Structure 1
Amino acid sequence: MKHLLLFLALLFMFAAQNSGAAQALPSLAKVNEWQVKWGGRPRDPFVAPDGKVWFCGQAGNYIGRLDPKSGELTRFEVPDNSHPHNLIIDGRGLVWYAGNRNGHIGKITPGSGEVEKFLMPQEISDPHTLVFDQQNNIWFSAQNSNAIGKLDTATGKVNYVVATQKRSRPYGIAVDSKNQPWSVLLGTNKIARVNPLTFALKEINLPREDARPRRLVITRDNNIWYADYAGSYLGRYNPKTQAFHEWKMPSFPASNPYGMAVDNDGRIWIAETGQYPNKMVVFDSQKQAFISSTPIPSGGAIRHMSYDHKQDQIWFGVDTGFISNIHFKR
């Protein structure tokens, strides 16, 4: 009887560990939030060299700027039907945004608010997510155009490569230390790498056919970390060994990980958008374990995030109309 009871107890423990029940994690982070008076789905904030925070008003067709010290908000108009989807800021403080609905990448001069448009080729209608390379040129994904492209910021020239499979949906994008752009293909179970010189595209299958990666980050060791939105997994791909490793998200199977960022210590911050309110979880890439989970008070979906190295803060927008940051409690 004792052996039977021990067997049943072990069986119960095994089942509990593999049932997909949400992991109980402490909240080690603090959230600060600013409500945006114009609404319009504020998203994708990015910190400028002067500490001001710029963001897209995607649905409202504007670019906004937040002074985190005073809370002051400033609005900048962009061309009609731009519906800016993402922005990044260069070392001179110039703001570059993706005109997602009318096929351009725009550059805003902060002092004047002047917008310069860089038109896309006819085949690309929807620049999506932007990232700088080591020469301050911009690599971008174009989800519905099924392409990954590069804008030469000095000449305005655009080159691009099309994914091999229709409706691959290139989505999140990042550049590694070798100046190579990587993208996740949301319509497939693949990640992709572009040769920056030849534009040759290499597509890599993820371990599970039903995976649908939505965002990615790259750690200093050049490992590729991706969020499987459909499967609720965090995955790592090592380009040197071509090996994969995957972890169930804390709210598996209802995590739907979306926005991602990596901090100076290699900790990966991931928004669980399958939860309401969304939860911000932290994965320590050295310990290979989730260490924190924090609910976001304002509620709605967190689509993209950026990291401010100077202040050690993660910035993100929330669909309910907020610009927010999060950092470890100090």
Structure 2
Amino acid sequence: MSNKDKTVSINDVALAAGVSIATVSRFLNGQLNRMSDKTAKKIQTIIDEMGYVPNAAARQLMTKSSKMIAVVVANIDDHFSSELFKGIGAISITEGYTPVLFDSNDDKQQELDLINKIDQQNFDAIIIQPLNTDAQVIQKQIKRKVPILTVDRSLENAIWPKVISDNYEIAKKVSEYYLKKDYQQVIVITEPIGTVSTRQARTKGIQAIYPDATIMEVNIQETVGNKLIDNVINNIDKKERTLIFALKERLVLRLASLLIRQDVNKNLMLTGFAEADMIFEINPELQLVRQNPFKMGATAGELMLELLKNKSNRVAETTTIKAKFI
């Protein structure tokens, strides 16, 4: 067997460098303050020359840390979820942590199954954009003691810190804006509200200004949802100034394209919660709520690093990132 075919071990590196295995291990874990610069440079040279690749599993057993954070998002198809993950990653990698993305695909049971599988792996922490509304339901899937943080939604029986948006306040602010512009009729289009905290808060914010707002719940993953939306648009009295308030980006996209195709007059206005720049390309005149999910993710990443460093005991603490209407 040639040297190229031989797997180089940490013991081989230690022998070649004339140091102990423990010293090489400290080098690999970034503990350079425990050796001289000369020793560190020598170990690095040997590693490069021998082509040594550290065994991640072995390092995890030794350090009891994977340097990985599990991030469970509601649906990666949503621009919000992908930006949330990017924000978490931008911060976590600064301390050597790698975020790993898991997609619940808007399925509560799939979310619980994923969390159960994550718990069986050696993740150092978990950040969740939860679909399930009760923290105790999620907690049952987690047997190991790891830092947990939730993003975007509030949970019943909350036991973990969370990063959320000011959904009620911004929905109320937007409603006040359109009331001043003499939009008397409001139709709220949303996925089933149920116990989802974001949908509840947004709806209540709108109803604080428009108590008689029409609430239309649809399943945007089904054809029937699109047909219902079409039917609403077709049957609106175009003579009345009517505001359509969509509570999710995919609904805004659907409605924006539909309104353009139907060439609806200016008495009908669309607004809602959305992040993707492409919506403004479809209709540059739209004014929408933007929550800055990247900042929410980055904030979650910062808080999680504090928890991992044991610098903070943020039990059930709430951090609110204010949305903008632009």
Q: Same fold (TM over 0.5)?
A: no
Flag the structure with higher helix content: 2
- TM-score tier by shorter-chain length is under 0.3
More relative contact order in 1 or in 2 (CA 8 Å, sep 6+)?
A: 2
TM-score, normalised via structure 2 length? 0.26
